[in-house]
Amino acid sequence: MCDKNTVFQEKKTINAGGRLLDFSEPKVMGILNITPDSFYQDSRTQTVAAALVKAEKMLSDGAAILDIGAYSSRPGASDIPPGEEQARLLPVIRAIRGQFPGAVLSIDTFRASVAEASIAEGADIINDISGGELDPLMFETIGRLQVPYILMHMRGTPLTMASLTQYDDMFKEIMQYFSSKLAVLNSLNVHDIILDPGFGFAKTADQNLRLLNNLELFKTTGLPVLAGLSRKKTIWQTLGVSSNEALNGTTVLNTVALMKGADLLRVHDVKEATEAIKLVSSLRRSSEDISL
Active site residues: 232, 266
The residues, ordered by sequence, that sit 6+ positions from 65 with a Cβ below 8 Å of its Cβ are 16, 21, 27, 28, 29, 30, 104, 105, 106, 125, 264
DSSP string, 42-91: GGB--SHHHHHHHHHHHHHHT-SEEEEE-S--STTPPP--HHHHHHHHHH
Alpha carbons 230 and 251: distance in angstroms, whole number: 8
Alpha-carbon gap, residue 67 to 78, rounded angstroms: 20
Contact yes or no for 227/262 (Cβ under 8 A): yes
CB neighbour class for 162 (10 Å; exposed up to 12, middle 13-18, buried from 19): middle
Q: How far apart are CA 121 and CA 118, in angstroms?
A: 5
CA 39 to chain centre: 16
* Among 42, 5, 25, CA closest to 265: 25
User: Of 266, 131, 254, 258, which Cα lies nearest the Cα of 202?
Assistant: 131
C-alpha distances in angstroms, 192 versus 4, 42, 45, 132, 133?
21, 31, 29, 16, 19
